[in-house]
Amino acid sequence: MGTTTMPVGDYLRDWRRRRRMSQLDLACEADISTRHLSFLETGRAQPSRAMVLHLAERLEVPLRERNVLLVAAGYAPTFPERPLDDPALHAAREAVDLVLAGHEPYPALAVDRHWTLVAHNRALPCLMGGVDPALLRPPANSLRVAMHPDGMAPRILNYAECRDHWLAQLRRQIVLTGDPVLVALLEELSGYPLPRGMNGRAARHDYAGVGLPLKLRTDDGVLTFFSTITTFGTPLDITLSELAIESMFPADPETAERLRAWAASPSSP
């Protein structure tokens, strides 16, 4: 939980503006008067615990920052933050492992709010050939591994498109969360030089609505993937609310066949 440095009204106003809502917009969403909302933001009125959580819900404030709002208003934080290996999260960790293992022979990984690699299945290493081992040492950052010049970037055939997509995702996440660690990560990744022989202009292709694929050159040929993201539906724990599982699917029969062959190889993990 971040340290509170402002009155709760300032935090509420900051989140409202971050969501590009007027006082009238938020008041209508929360079913309160604009006068009362104005008083809450200026400190002329003190919100109840229930009102803090009510407004935070309407503003889609992340659980981590809802605790900050509560503390700023003088209340104890509500949402716990446990490590994923905490006994209280045993069922959730089992669910994550089940999804990862069940997706084999295709790669899948779980990341936290900062894109730090939390867990992965046995198929993920097939994508990591040629990556500098220093980038893979814990805590490995999945975006850094993908975009660093010593990472996967030189082998991603449609890197310019992927780079634009990943940076756009990161910018949207910053808007939603205001996380300074993500701001620093965006600055770092934006400053990486392009791999040799590539220009910064992303080609525009029609991928039949499936989404932007990842086209990766490997020793066994080109692997092409599209991916889906899985999150917990109604988490009340901060760790679970910030966890995302990316499952990668083969975008063509050749990729599927190569991954099945890799999984059947005696040298595979």
Paired tokens of 269 = 């993990």
User: 45-58, pLDDT tens digit by residue?
Assistant: 999 999 999 999 99
Cα 153 to its chain centre, rounded Å, is: 19
* Contact between residue 266 and residue 255 where contact means Cβ atoms under 8 Å apart: no
Report DSSP state, residue 79: S
Query: What whole-number distance in Å separates Cα of residue 209 and Cα of residue 197?
Result: 29
Record the tokens describing residue 179, joined without a space. 């996380």
> How many other CB atoms are found less than 10 A from the CB of residue 11?
24
Tell me, what's the pLDDT at 80?
Answer: 96
What's residue 49's pLDDT? 97
**Could you tell me the CA-to-CA distances from 195 to 95, 142, 221 in Å, in that order?**
38, 18, 19
Confidence class of residue 199 from pLDDT cuts 50, 70 and 90? low
Whether the bond into 62 is cis, omega within 30 of 0: no
pLDDT of residue 220: 85
Q: Which helix (H) or strand (E) holds 224?
A: strand 221-231
From 224, 157, 145, select the one nearest 195 (Cα to Cα): 157
Amino acid at 124: L
How does residue 211 score in pLDDT terms, banded at 50, 70 and 90? Answer: confident
- Look at residue 155 and tell me whether its pLDDT is greater than 90: yes
- Mean pLDDT of the region 157-178: 94
Hey, what are 243's tokens? 């966890």
Mean pLDDT of the chain: 92
Query: Per-residue pLDDT for 200 more than 60?
Result: no
